[in-house]
């Protein structure tokens, strides 16, 4: 067992974990952040996407011990004071989710995408989101939501 200290959604957690434990299992089973979910076992689906020090990672592809001393943001830490993050609001407004299982990962990836490229074209959105699978929406409204969120932040910056 290894002792790690991780900041998750602004709070600090110190735990003894098995070195083999995946970050996603640490988040779900130890910290109780069950908003982050597991959709596959081959790192294809992206449902478990979180931010590690501000960049998106598939948390099934990171060991919990690698997060030691670092900061994790999950879907549960995105809204502030009950106010939805603009990307969460854009997903709601554009009906970019149906069953909602891929949604946490989609939103975390989309936020990272816009951090890197605040004004993506449709093609850049489609390339930037291709690591996250959705079976319900056909992606149409997800792409629309990301574009809308980009447009909204552009307007608010102006």
How far apart are alpha carbons 57 and 88 in whole angstroms? 18
For position 41 contacting other proteins by CB under 8 A, the verdict is yes
- If phi > 0 it is left, if psi is from -120 to 50 it is alpha, else beta; for residue 68 that is beta
55 near other proteins, judged by CB under 8 A: no
Q: Which of positions 66-85 make contact with other proteins (CB under 8 A)?
A: 74-76, 78-79, 84
Tally of residues, the chain: 158
Does 38 contact other proteins by CB under 8 A? yes
Tell me: does residue 130 bind other proteins (CB under 8 A): yes
For 81-112, letters b (16+ CB in 10 Å) and e give: eeeebbbbbbbebbebbeeebbbbbbbbbbbb
- In the complex, the smallest distance separating the C-beta of residue 85 from other proteins, rounded to whole angstroms, is 9
Q: Please report whether residue 144 would count as binding other proteins according to CB under 8 A.
A: yes
Q: Which stretch binds other proteins (CB under 8 A): 51-59, 64-72, 126-134, 150-158?
A: 126-134
Helices (H), 49-131: 86-93, 103-116, 122-128
Contact positions vs other proteins (CB under 8 A): 18, 25, 28, 33-42, 44-45, 47, 74-76, 78-79, 84, 88, 91-93, 95, 97-104, 107, 122, 125-127, 129-144
């Amino acid at each position: 067992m290894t002792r790690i200290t991780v900041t998750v959604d602004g709070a600090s957690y110190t735990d003894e974990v098995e070195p083999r434990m995946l970050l996603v299992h640490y988040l779900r089973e130890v910290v109780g952040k069950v908003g982050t979910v597991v959709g596959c076992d081959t790192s294809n689906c992206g449902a478990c996407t979180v931010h590690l020090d501000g960049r998106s990672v598939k948390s099934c592809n990171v060991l919990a011990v690698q997060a030691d001393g670092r900061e994790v943001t999950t879907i549960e830490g995105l809204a502030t004071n009950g106010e939805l993050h603009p990307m969460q609001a854009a997903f709601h407004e554009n009906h970019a989710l149906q069953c909602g299982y891929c949604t946490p990962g989609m939103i975390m990836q989309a936020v990272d995408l816009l951090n890197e490229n605040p004004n993506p074209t449709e093609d850049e959105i489609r390339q930037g989101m291709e690591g996250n699978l959705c079976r319900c929406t056909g992606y149409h409204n997800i792409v629309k939501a990301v574009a809308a969120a980009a447009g909204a932040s552009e307007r608010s910056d102006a």
